[in-house]
Structure formats: structure tokens, C-alpha cells
Chain A
Amino acid sequence: MDNWIMIGALLVLMGFAYQFGVLRSRSVAAGGAVRMHSRPGYYGLLVALWCGLPALAVFLLWSMIEPSMIRSVVIEQLPPEVAALDGNQINVILRRVESIASGFGVSDQPAAYELAAAARVSELQGTGRMSMIALMAALAVGGLVFTLRRISPALRARNKVESVVQTLLIICSTIAILTTIGIVLSMLGEAMRFFQFVNPVDFFFGTVWNPRFSTVGSGDQGQFGLLPLLWGTIMVSIVALLIAVPVGLMTAIYMAEYAPGWLRSVAKPVIEVLAGIPTIVYGFFALVTVGPFFHGLGLAVGLDIRTTSALTAGVVMGIMIIPFVSSLSDDIITQVPRAMRDGSLGLGATKAETIRNVVLPAALPGIVGAFLLAASRAIGETMIVVLAAGNSPVLHANPFEAVSTVTVTIVNQLTGDLDFASPQSLVAFALGLTLFVITLALNVVALYIVRKYREQYE
């Protein structure tokens, strides 16, 4: 809470600094007699920035460093037999010390060394706090006064403020890159640790997935074969694409070429609602509605269809990506030049023939791109398969049986306690890396195709 008050105080000070800057620049300008370089607001902003930014930087650095400094000082001061305890017990003691230092007290009688440590902590915290406030105040006031004195007709305040703004913008735009780097590095790092336990060949080409939780020292690590999971992913994705691509493509064609305006304006947003529904909702829908429906259908025709199966998950996932396919294809079909259609129609082709023989071939690269993007979406989808695919990592080709996928296994291996030392947890990162590489490849190819296609008709 104190920290918020300090930030608030700093912001208020910055507000004053702005006003001071504006007033000062006005007085320097002497009512228009002197021609200033920038408008008054920029002088105000410059003063405010000089007042606020250095103090803020000190505040951030200090808050990051101070707790660990105090901690190490206190641990040094503890009697040797206490300091020799292991990490958790030290933490308990430090917490007690802290609560004595804060004046809240502990319910039993504190030991002498605890009281001494607490006194030291409150002393350190007090001096630390005081010196931080002093430093911040000095910087803020110093920056304020310094900049105020610099205000002169020649000071290029606007350019300085603008360069600060631009720097901030650049910092923000690097965050997206940092995220990618973070993804790649964390995946690679943890996956490498996994490959210290398991041979990469056994992982990428193993046909058995059976990651037993080994007891310590038994040397039995279980089998981490990727292929059953990958095959499950592919099977579910194929089912999904078999639903989504024909339906999505036909929807796009109908919407772009046939549908009257009113139908288009109603049906398009309604179908796009499908894209906005959270995937957990689809998972639940698959589990309680679609799965039992297929099961009953199977009984009726004498087939054994499991309630949770590759079919259930795939069909529901297909429904989910219909709007994805249809809106991408719609964009692409409407981009095919009118003249090509008119040429074909003029030769006497029917509308369907024109679409099949002229529009679709012309749009094919774009549609392939859309197809690849949809495939990457299907492969990375998680919640539907977690709920509706049945989680059975066995290599088989029957879509009516339960399967397991890469994403399901990541969730299974990494929920609950996170233990970053066992192959059973670390395998999630190797799987994640595989998934990332596959979807990345699909996306890069798809985006390339779509972009090339756009250029073709622009």
C-alpha cells in the first residue's frame, strides 16, 4: 500500500512539474515577445518526464533488490546453528522475524535471536525506506529544478519529448519479439533437459506412450513414444477438416456468389458467432450432446462408437473451425476479379460451372492457405480433445475409438504439481516444441501462399 501512495505522490508531483514547466515557459516567452521553440505544453511535459522517470527507475530497481539484500543481512546475523538449517525452516524463521518486526507479533514467546533479528530488520527497512524516499525525492526535485532552469527559447522541448515517446513505442513493439524468443528458448531449454533423460530417437520414433511415474532410483523411466499422440492429433484433425473444409468452403461460395443481401447480412455474423465461443464450451457440448448422439447412432446401425472418440472430438472441432475456413475463403473468393467471372458467364457457362472451373481454380492457392491455417488451428486445439477424445494413447486407426493427442498429453503431464526435474513433466515441453514447430511450419507456408495470392490480383 505504501508503494501505491509513493507512486501516487510521484504522479501528483509530475502534475505540478507540468504546471511549473508551462508557467515557466510562458514567463520566458514574456507574453509572446520572445519566440519559443516549442509550445508551452511540451516544456511542461519535459519537466514532468525529467521529474518522474529517474525517480520511477530508482523505485523499481530498489523494490527489486531490497528484499534479497535484507534477507542476506538477516541470515548472516542469525546464530550459526539456526543459519545452518535448511531452506524451508529458514523461511519459517524469517517469516516469524518479519511479523515481529512489523509489530504484529507472534503468539508464542519469540527467541532472543529472533527479537534481535527483528530489530535489525525493522532498522534496515526503516533506513532503506528513508533512503529510498530521500533518493527519489532528490531525483524528482533535482530533475524538476534542473529542467525548469534549462527552459529557454532555444530548448528543443518538443523533439526531446517526442524522442521519449518514440523510445517507449519501440520498447513496446519489441515485446512481441521477446515473447517469441521466450517461447523458443523456454521450450528448447526444458526440452533439452528432457532429452537428457530420454533419447530423442526414442521420443520421436517411439510407438508406445507409457510415462510411468518412476520411484526414485528404480531407473525405470517409462516409455515416451511420440507417434501414438501425433497419430491421434492427425486423426482428430482429419475428421475436423473433413467437416470444416467442405462446409466452410460451400458456405463461403454460397455467401459470395448466390446469397441475397439480407441472408448474407444475417447468416454471416451468426455463423461467425461459432468462432467466438470459448473452446471449453465446445468441449462440454461434445461431451454431453454430440458424444452420446454418436454413441446412440452407432448402436442403431450396429457400430461400436465410443462416447468420447476421435470422431466426437473431430466433428465438434470441425464445427468450431467452419467460420474460420468460410471467412478466409470468402475473402479469397471475393478477390477473384469480376472480369474472369464475366468472361466465363459470357461464354454460356452456368454459374456453378463458372465457380467450379474459373473461380475456384483461380482462388485455389488462397484456399490451400486457408486449409493449412485451419489445419494448424485443429492441431493446436486443446480443450475439445481434452474433454471429448477419450485420452487413450494407443496406436490404432479406428476413429470410433478413443485417442489421445499432443495437446491433451501436455495438459495431463503438466497439471497439478509442477516438478521441473522429472521427465514426466519435462516431456510436456518436448511435446510443446513439436507442436510449435508443426504449427509454425504450417502457418509460415500458409501465410506465404496467401500473401503471394493477394499480390497476384492486386
Chain B
Amino acid sequence: MSDQAVTHDTPHAPPQSGRQWTPQHELVKKSLGRRHAAEKRFRAAGMSAVLFGLAMVALLFVTIFAKGIPAFWQATFNIPVYFDPEIVKVEPRPQAQPGETPAQLRDRDLAWQTQVTMVNWNRVIENALIEHLPEAASKRPLVRRLVTSGERFGLRDMFVANPELLGQRVTLRLLADANVDVWLKGNIDRDLPDSQQQLPPEVRQWADALYERGVIEMKFSTSLFMNPDSRSSLASAGLAGAIMGSLYMMLIVILIAVPVGVASAIYLEEYAPRNKFTDLIEVNINNLAAVPSIIFGLLGAAVFINWFKMPLSAPIVGGLVLSLMTLPTVIIATRSTLKAIPPSIRQAALGIGASKTQTIFHHVLPLALPGILTGAIIGVAQAIGETAPLLLIGMSAFVASVPATPFDQATALPVQIYLWQGNELRNFFEARTSAAIVVLLAVMISMNALAILLRKRFEQRW
């Protein structure tokens, strides 16, 4: 478009010989400067609009990645922990006895686990820390604040899984408390007066000292991916539950929205007669694609939860809602791909005696497959980034476990982001939320890249 055809740069030249120099020429010549300036301004406006768009993309990614990437590394203690029999005083784990129902065995086992939970695991951790901080022996409540509170349950779970640890010394990685992490990373102003600091001065000193000695290190935070959400132990709050929830929902969308969408696109594009009814379906699908996502959430709340009494917060409900939401996207993408397949292919197949169904399934669909896949992937990517409808079907509930089936309570990645951004400990969770966003964006970008790759690889021009 921006090519040579524009010739109005030349009129500056004096009029050709043989033509009269008229006052009109004078007028045009006078206005030319103004008109060219207007042209330049217009062009600059266009350029700056494009630059604004590009700058916004850059700003968005830079701010989020700058905050998020450091949060993948977390302050972690690397210290030997002694499972002191003086502190860990429990009986051996109960075994099944003859004549006992599974329910009774479970009850005894639960009683034993309660006993293990009652052990003063904090003391075990404190002792491990005091080995490195002899001066802190008299200030146990402060020492405790160095390590995140969830680690005592980590020790308990380790012990439940392997009771032979009793009396042994094991070098473990323990997550530092969220506030220690914030302090060491400088995410809080280090010059603030004591009254505004989250940690007492001693704890800050110890943290610095241990960091210098290498007892605390910034380690890649596996807990971010392996742990479910947590409210009591903020440093170990992770995305495992959300990732599983999103994965289940993605699976459901792939299993429902993609086949149903492709099937209805095939029907509408290839079989359906042109009449009022199919027009209605067509208008309906176009409108459905533009219905705000939150309306689908209301639909889910009213139909799936209130009428069908499906469980709140379950990925199955979320998946169904997202499937309905994605359906129009898949239908529209598939239809436009089918439209792009030239009619000559159909005519050739029909001409040598194939039936309509054979023509479509043997000849048209294979050619349309890359386009359909591309559309489906983009639709699924859109679905897993969606938040609003999930809030309405109860997926914003706090869930501290990883869902084992699509019928268990769960949350999703975008919902987890929503929950984390509202956490009171802003200094810690701003970074952690950004890290969660980085994960979400990475998932979405890789899906979109896959779609682009498919399109590039298999694109056919007719």
C-alpha cells in the first residue's frame, strides 16, 4: 500500500512549458506546504498509535516479568535436622489386626497421626536453627519466625511416610518465612523504622547473618509448583492445586467443546439447508461468541449448581461452563476453515461417486484438520485464561489440597492469581502473583505458539 504510486511530491516543480501560469496554480502551490504538513502529522499519528500499542505490550510484559521472575527463587534453609527421640515420642504405627474392619483400622491410624501431629515439631526445627545461631538459644519464639510455619507439617508428613527417621540426622531444605524472604530480597524498604517492619530486629539480623554464611540460599522454588495453596504458611503457598484444576478443566473443554463444536460446524457448513432455522442458528452462534463470559458463569450457577445440584468449586462444573463458552469460538473457526476448502475438491469426490458423508469425512475434513486444530487450540487457550465465570460457580473458595478427580474442590490458575493478589502480605504476594501470571502466560503463549506453528506448517493456499 505504501508504495510509489504517490506522486504529489513533484508539484513543487515549475509548471510545464506550454501551459499558462494561472492564479489557481499559485493557490495550489501556497496550500501545498500546509497539506504536506497535514500528511506528515497524520502519518506520525498512525505511527505513534502503533508505537503506543507496542509500548503497552512491552510495558505489560516487562513489569510482570520483572516482578515475577525473582519470585521463582525463594529463601531456603539448607540445614541438618535431628529427629530427636526426646521430642518425637510416639508409638509405632498401627498395623491391621485380624477381625478388624478397614474403618476401625483407619480410625486407629488417624489417632496415631494425630499423635504425630501433636509432637512439638517446632522444637525440632528450632534446635536445628540454634545449632547455627547459638546466641539465639534464649529466644525460641523469635527463632521460630525464621522458618515458615508449614514446615512443621512437612516434617510430620515426612515422619508419617517414613517412621524410621526417628533418631536420625537428615539434611533438609526448609523454606524461610515469607517475611524473611521479603527482607532478604529487599522487597520491603530496609530503612523503615522498626515499628513498620514485619520482623523484629533480631530476626532480621539473624536472617542477614545466615544468608551471608550460606545457610539460607535462594533456591529455585519447587514448592511453587508442588504445593497447594496455603493461608497459614504463606511461603509454601503453591500452584499445584490450581494447575491440576486448570488441567482438568482443559481436558473437559477438549473432550466436550472441540468434538461438539467441530460436529456442529460440519453440520452447519456442509449439510444444513439454507433456511430460516439455520439462519437463526448462525445468528445465535455469532451472538453467543460475543456474550460476556460472566453470563456463562451465571448460567453455570443457575443450571449446573442450582438445578442439577452439582458440587460447588468442582472442575467438572468449571469445565462444562468453559466448554459452553468456547463452543462458539470452535464452531466459527471450524466453519471458516471449511469455507476455505475449495468446492472443486467436493465436486471431484462427488463426481466419482462418493456420498456426501464420504466426501466430507474422507476429503474435506483431512484438509481442514490443521485449521480446525489451530482454532481449537486458540479456543482452549482462551478458556483456561478465563476467570469471571469460575468465580460465580464457587471456584474462588480457598482449597488447600490438590484435587484428585474432576469432582473434588479445586481452583484454577487465573482464579489463584485473583486470590493471591488480594492477600494482605502485599510485599510477598505481589511477586508471587506475578510468578503465577508468568506461569499462566507461559502456558498460554506456548499453546498459541503451537497453534501458529501448526498453521505455518500445514497452511495450504488454494
Contact = CB atoms under 8 A, between A and B. Distances in A.
Interface in B28-60: 35-36, 38-39, 41-43, 45-50, 52-54, 56-57, 59-60
Interface stretch (B121-129, B181-189, B218-226, B261-269): B261-269
A174 B50 CA distance: 42
Interface of B: 1-2, 5-6, 8, 11, 35-36, 38-39, 41-43, 45-50, 52-54, 56-57, 59-60, 63-64, 67, 101-104, 106-107, 259-261, 263-264, 266-268, 271-272, 280-281, 283-288, 290-299, 301-303, 305-306, 312, 324, 327-328, 331, 355-357, 378, 381-382, 385-388, 391-392, 394, 396, 414, 417-418, 421, 430, 433-434, 437, 440-441, 444, 448
B103 A99 contact: yes
Nearest to B361: A165
Interface string A237-275: 000000000111111011111111001000100110110
A355 interface: yes
23 contacts: A105-B101, A168-B263, A173-B264, A176-B264, A177-B284, A183-B296, A186-B298, A248-B49, A255-B50, A274-B60, A277-B60, A278-B444, A280-B414, A280-B418, A283-B421, A285-B63, A342-B5, A345-B5, A348-B8, A353-B35, A376-B290, A380-B291, A382-B387
Contacts of A322: 53, 56
Given A350-B35, A435-B294, A276 B444 contact: yes
Given A175-B327, A418-B312, A382 B298 contact: no
Given A281-B60, A289-B59, A439-B290, 4 more contacts: A107-B107, A254-B43, A355-B42, A440-B291
A271 B57 contact: yes
B454 to A, nearest CB: 15
A233 to B, nearest CB: 11
Interface stretch (A11-19, A48-56, A409-417): A409-417
Contacts of B418: 280, 283, 383, 386-387
A259 B260 CA distance: 41
Q: List the 10 closest pairs (A to B, CB-CB), nearest first.
A: A380-B292, A254-B46, A105-B101, A278-B385, A173-B264, A250-B49, A186-B302, A172-B263, A352-B42, A382-B388
Contact of B57 (A169, A170, A274, A352): A274
B421 A414 contact: no
A147 interface: no
A368 to B, nearest CB: 16
Nearest to A326: B53
For chain A, give the interface size range.
35 or more
A326 B288 CA distance: 22
Contacts of A418: 301, 305-306, 312, 394
Given A381-B292, A436-B291, A176 B328 contact: yes
A47 interface: no
B264 A257 contact: no
B104 A105 contact: yes
Among A250, A255, A345, A377, chain B packs the most CB atoms within 10 A around the CB of A250
Contacts of A288: 63, 67, 430
Interface in A16-75: none
A258 B1 contact: yes
A444 B49 contact: no
Contacts of A267: 50, 53-54
A105 B39 CA distance: 85
B288 A180 contact: yes
A383 B387 contact: yes
A355 B38 CA distance: 12
B214 to A, nearest CB: 33
A258 B303 CA distance: 51
Contacts of A195: none
Contacts of A172: 259-261, 263-264, 267
A280 B387 contact: yes
